[in-house]
Amino acid sequence: MRTINIYAAKTHLSRLVEDAAAGEEIIIAKAGKPVARLCALGAPEQRRVLGLLKGKLHPPGDIDAPLQDATNDTSMTIAVPWHNLPLTKLIHENFWVIMSYAFATPALTKWVNDNFLGEWKYLGKALFEMPVERVNLALLELATQFRLLDDHHKFGNYFKNTDKPALGKIIKQDGTEEPLYFRDMTNKILHSASIGWNFSDSDRPIVICQALDSEKKRWLRAEIELYHFGWLCGGLMS
């Protein structure tokens, strides 16, 4: 599921209808607030087929060999083919992408609506469609990097043992809510069916993770307040 502002929806309506007919669910927002949902009528449920790659994938080397002990590694670097980058620097880079998108989108929406009349197809694509792919990738990368920090430095335990506030909330099928803490936040981002945004309060943007169909009995969606990302990422040295 993706969120499109009403300006982009008007300029790309025919393509959005085609995407919806193909099974995609699209949220239309006005001034950053979701106001309508575009989806197919009677769209068939997509089911996963197990066993398609049975016997075709073979793990290299000795898969049962013990992993190298990294508990004493204080540098916390991620190795890539041509260099090493510190983990916290990667976190800060993704944090910048996420916050830039979150606070720029409402302002850009207003700027376009105030200054451009008619159809500006590629302006809308450049400002509102392409950035969504990049920011969602940054969220997935950030969640993975947080998991590494938690695995090595037990961030989850730190938040449980201090008075740090929850990072958001989990909404269940019966309408009840639960606080969303560090480790579970990373799980919800990495295992969500889709990622959306709520800009109804431009000063407190919210990331919305929708549950997979198989998980909806346990939770429907998770709402993550980016306000808390500030002290979470800002407290890391890079």
pLDDT tens by residue, 158-181: 766 777 778 899 999 898 999 998
Picking from 29, 38, 39, 30, the residue whose alpha carbon sits closest to that of residue 3 is: 29
Please report which residue ranges of the chain form alpha helices under DSSP H: 6-11, 13-21, 87-115, 121-124, 130-153, 155-160, 182-190, 227-234
% of the chain at pLDDT higher than 70: 78
DSSP string covering 11-38, please?
Answer: HTHHHHHHHHHTT--EEEEETTEEEEEE
Angle subtended at Cα 126 by Cα 125 and Cα 130, rounded to the nearest 5 degrees = 75
pLDDT tens by residue, 116-163: 887 888 898 899 888 998 999 999 999 998 888 888 777 767 766 777
For helices 87-115 and 130-153, the axis angle rounded to 10 degrees is 150
- Residue pair 108/128 in contact (Cβ under 8 Å)? The answer is yes
Task: Summarize the confidence of residues 33-37 as an average pLDDT.
Answer: 81
- Give, for 224, the enclosing helix (H) or strand (E): strand 221-225
> What tokens does 72 get?
């004493």
pLDDT tens by residue, 89-103: 888 999 999 999 999
Bigger pLDDT: 40 vs 107 = 107
Residue 209 CA to residue 19 CA, distance in Å, equals 20
Indicate if the pLDDT at residue 81 is higher than 60: no
Identify the three-state secondary structure at position 106: helix
Question: What is each CA distance from 161 to 156, 157, 226, 228, in whole angstroms?
Answer: 9, 6, 22, 17
